Amino acid sequence: MLITLTGKEFIPPFDNPKLLLSELLALELHTFANDVEEICDQAVKEDKMEKGLEGLESRWQSIDWVKDNYKDTG
């Protein structure tokens, strides 16, 4: 989203741990402050949702479902 916003190509820091501060500053993200803040807020919310879903998945995997047939319906 930041690449689309800035129109500048770069490899994100989590994919490029050798990204220099000067390269990051060259993106001039400060000129897009409000948009960058919205992107960050969205990312935080998505991360929270993903962690919640992971928790649900692990809880439901440990449940053993038991089924009883109703009358003679099979």
**Ordered DSSP codes for 1-49:** -HHHHH------TTT-TT--HHHHHTT-GGGGHHHHHHHHHHHHHHHHH
Give the domain range for residue 38. Answer: 33-61
Say if 71 falls within a structural domain: no
Q: Is residue 5 situated within a structural domain? A: no
Predicted structure pTM score:
0.65
Identify whether 26 is part of a domain: no
pLDDT tens per residue, range 2-59: 889 889 888 888 899 898 999 889 889 999 999 999 999 999 999 999 999 999 988 8
How far CA 59 is from CA of 9, 52, 53, in Å, comes to: 40, 11, 10
Residue 39 lies in a domain: yes
Number of domains in the chain: 1
Is 55 inside a domain boundary?
yes
pLDDT at site 74 = 64
Q: How large is the greatest C-alpha to C-alpha distance in the chain, in angstroms?
A: 73
Residue at 44 is within a domain: yes
- The verdict on residue 15 lying in a domain is no
Q: Is residue 70 part of a domain?
A: no
